[in-house]
Structure 1
Amino acid sequence: MSSGDGRIIGYSIAGLCYGTYLFFSGFSKFREKLLIENTPTSKIRSIAMGRVEVFGKVIADRNNVAEGPFSGDTCVHCWWTVEELRSSGKSSKWVVISQGYIGGPFFIKDNTGTVLVDPDGARMDIPMDHEYMLSKKGPTGRIIEFLTGRGISYKGLIFNKELRLREYYLAPGDKVFVMGVAGKNPFADPDRASLNEEGVMIQKGKHKEFYYIADKDEKEVLKKMGWQVIIGFFGGAALMIVCLFIIFAYFRIL
C-alpha cells in the first residue's frame, strides 16, 4: 500500500465515521423537531407544571443584568469563548483555550405575563454577537482585565498570541423561544407565589429532558431544524455510501 493509497483509505474511514455521525444526529434532530411541533405554545399566564413551550421577549431586571465580557454590552446571559491559533506543520487551527458563561436566571414576557427562566443546562441556540481578533498589538482595556482575571495568557515568547474572542448573548428586548420544564420557582416571594407565573420557573428538569433556548420564534426554529434533519439524513447517508464504495473498491470487495 503506497502512502497515497493509505491517505485515501484513511480519509474514507474518517468520512465513513463522520457520515455515520451525521446520519444519527439527523435522527436526533428529527425527534427534537417532532417534540417541538407536537407541543403547543403556552401563554405565560396559563403555564402548567411539566413540559412547556413559551415564546416572548427578554426583559431586564436590576438583579439579573450582566455585561458582555469583551463588548460591555448589556445582556442577561452571555456565552463566551477564547480561542488560540495554533500551528502544526503546514496547517493551523483555532483551539478553544477557555470558555464559560455570565448571567443567571432571567425573565421573559408575553402579552399575558412574565416568567423566570433558568438557562442552566439548556442548549443555547444563539448566533454570535461579537468577535474580536487579537494579534501582535494585543488586547486593551476591559479585555485585558477579563483575560488576566481569568488567568488567560495573551503573551507569547516574543509577540502576543493570536487570539479570537467571541460573545453570544441574550439581551433585553430579544425575542426568545424556550422549551423546558415548568417547575417551582425557588426565588418566588411566598406571599405572591399564588400568582401562577410568579411561582413557576422554566428549567432543565430532573430527568434530562430536552431543554432548548433560541432567540427566534418557533417557525424559524423548525425551519433550521428541518435543514439539519435533511443534512443529517441525506448528507450523512450519501457520505457513508461514497466512503464505503471507495473502501470496498480498494479491497476489491465489490
Structure 2
Amino acid sequence: MLFFLVLAALISFYYFARDWKRWHLIKDTPTACLRSAHQGYIELEGKGKSPSNQPIFAPLPNHQCIWYHSLVERKETILEQKRTRTEWKILYQHTSDQSFMLDDGTGTCLVNPEGAEITSNEKLIWHGNTEWPTRTRVLDSASAIVALTSRYRYSERLILPGQQLYILGHLQTRSPATEQSVQNIARDLLRDWKQDRQQLLERFDSNRDGEIDQAEWEIARETARS
C-alpha cells in the first residue's frame, strides 16, 4: 500500500510540475501578430482554415475538418480467476498529419501538426456492431442501452474549420528567395569541398573504395544544405 501511495504521489507531482511549467510558458509568451511576428518560438491566436486545394475529411463520420484523431475499439470479455472483466481493445487509430492554415486577421500561416500536443474540444463517441461504422452521422451516441449492447466503440477528436485556435510553436518564414539563397550556399560549399579531395573522401566515402558514388554524393549534398 505504501508503494502505491508513493507511486501515485510521484505521478501526481510529475503532472503538476509539467502543467506548472506549461502555464508559465503560456503566461510569459506574448501573443504575436503574423503581420509583424518575429522568427522563432511564438504564440498565435486565430481561426483555423483548410488549405483550399486540400480539404481534410475525418475517416469515421466523414466530417470536413482541419485535424482529427480517430479510434475504433472492440469490447472484449476476459476471464481471470473465475471472474470476468470487460476491456476495450484498439483495432484502429490514426492522427492527421496534414498541415492546415491559421488566420489571425493580419495574415495567414501554415501549421504543421506532426509531433504537436493537441487539445480538441470537439469529441464524438458512438457505438455499433460492425468493425467499421456504417453510419456517417452520429446517432444515439448518448444512449446507454446502445453503448451496453454494442460490441464496437468509435471515437473521434476534431478541429473544425473556423474554430478559434491557440498555438505555441516555432515560426519560420520561407520564400523562393530564401530557398534560392540556401541552394547557392550549398553549391558553394560543395565546390569548396571538391577542392580538397582527400578530406571529401574522409567525410563521405563510407565504403572506402576511393570514390564518391551517387549515394555518397547525395549525403554530401544534404550535409551541405543542412
- Determine what percentage of the aligned residue pairs are the same residue: 23
Corresponding residue for residue 181 of structure 1: 170
User: Under a length normalisation based on structure 1, what TM-score does the superposition of the two structures give?
Assistant: 0.58
Shift in alpha-carbon separation, 1:135–1:13, aligned structure 2, 3 A: farther
**Residue pair 1:128, 1:166 contacting (<8 A) in 2 also:** no
Listed one character per residue, the Cα deviations across residues 2-47 of structure 1 (whole Å, up to 9, x for unaligned) are xxxxxxx3xx533431331111110011011101100000011111
Shift in alpha-carbon separation, 1:25–1:137, aligned structure 2, 3 A: closer
Question: Relative to structure 2, which stretch is displaced further, 112-121 or 95-104?
Answer: 95-104
**Matches of 1:138 and 1:48, distance apart in 2:** 46
**Matches of 1:74 and 1:26, distance apart in 2:** 36
Describe the SS at the equivalent of 1:123.
coil
- Paired positions, count: 164
Describe the SS at the equivalent of 2:96.
strand
Cα RMSD after superposing both structures: 2.8
Q: Of the two structures, which has the highest relative contact order with CA contacts closer than 8 Å and spacing of 6 or more?
A: 1
User: What one-letter code is carried by the residue in structure 2 that aligns with 1:129?
Assistant: K
Corresponding residue for residue 96 of structure 1: 90
Corresponding residue for residue 42 of structure 1: 32
- Deviation beyond 6 Å, 4+ runs, structure 1: none
Are 1:116 and 2:110 an aligned pair?
yes
Structure 1, unmatched stretches of 5+, are 1-8, 144-159, 194-254
**Matches of 1:138 and 1:105, distance apart in 2:** 26
* Residue of 42, 59, 66 corresponding to 1:76: 66
**Residue pair 1:64, 1:103 contacting (<8 A) in 2 also:** no
State the structure with more CA Rg: 2
Question: Could you tell me how far 1:97 is from its partner in structure 2?
Answer: 3.0
**Matches of 1:133 and 1:178, distance apart in 2:** 32
**Residue pair 1:65, 1:103 contacting (<8 A) in 2 also:** no
Question: Could you tell me how far 1:128 is from its partner in structure 2?
Answer: 4.3
Shift in alpha-carbon separation, 1:134–1:52, aligned structure 2, 3 A: same
Are 1:65 and 2:58 an aligned pair?
no
Describe the SS at the equivalent of 1:24.
helix
